[in-house]
Amino acid sequence: MKVLVFGKTGQVASELARCATADITLEFVGRDRADLTDPAACAALIATTDADAVINAAAYTAVDRAEEDEATAQLVNAAAPAAMVRAAVARGLPFVHISTDYVFDGSGDIPFATDHPTGPLGAYGRTKLAGEDSVRAAGGVFAIFRTSWVVSAHGNNFVKTMLRLGAERDRLTIVADQIGGPTPAADIAQTCLEAARQLKADAGKSGTYHLSGGPDVSWADFARAIFEMSGTTCEVADIPSSDFPTPAARPANSRMDNTTTKATFGLPRPDWRAGLKDILKDLRALKQ
């Protein structure tokens, strides 16, 4: 199977690059070939590809900056996927798209089901939801995976930030009233590939799914786990979100129900603790 992947240097794309096998060929599309602010260029690539499936692993993920630059976020997170999926439908190609927990309003304390009403709190969530809507409306073969708190040894993410700050300070104050599931990018990559493979064989598996790591945890407790597992001596003090204001509101509840992902694709919920061990191992290897 050959897969055309939009995204080249992001966390998920970097992990997808490690998934190539004798049976899986991956062609990565970076900004040099198709900038996501140019949806027509993205569609043109799909129109001429010899790939068997398309994965969109690229997005505008600067949550705070999106509040001031929603127009660009809308281009990348909504207009580009809309153009991509229409081109994929025209070619009869399965389309796998990554979305986010930010499409919900973060209320309550139970995991969000895939059919729970959406209610984005800010620009990032609004633009990602618009992208989802376009994918669903195209009428093709697709899988949307809403994920959360993505971490890896690549790019910028919470694990790398904590390791850096934990090495510099004896004590950190971390938000403790936002609860969610850290999700290793490696698990997202593997899930996207497996979904693409299964969708080729069974278009009836098309739909919207949740993919978040378990068990659910607060940012503060996640930080403690990072320090404990990495052998970093740094105290974590819990604070409320109100003590750490940001331009974009963060959902207090990012718990997501992964039931349908397992039922449809046979993929269990990722264990972020196992993923964190692998990330720390990768980071140690990069230092050598």
On whether the CB atoms of residues 258 and 267 are closer than 8 A, the answer is: no
Alpha carbon 281 to its chain's center: 21
The answer to whether the CB of 112 falls within 8 A of the CB of 104 is yes
Q: How far apart are CA 53 and CA 257, in angstroms?
A: 26
How far is residue 252's CA from residue 69's CA, in Å, rounded to a whole number? 23
**Catalytic-residue membership of 60:** no
Sheet holding 179-180, edge to edge: 217-218, 179-180, 253-254
- Residue 171 in tokens: 């004590």
Cβ burial, residue 83 (10 Å; 0-12/13-18/19+): buried
**Where in the sequence numbering do the catalytic residues fall?**
124
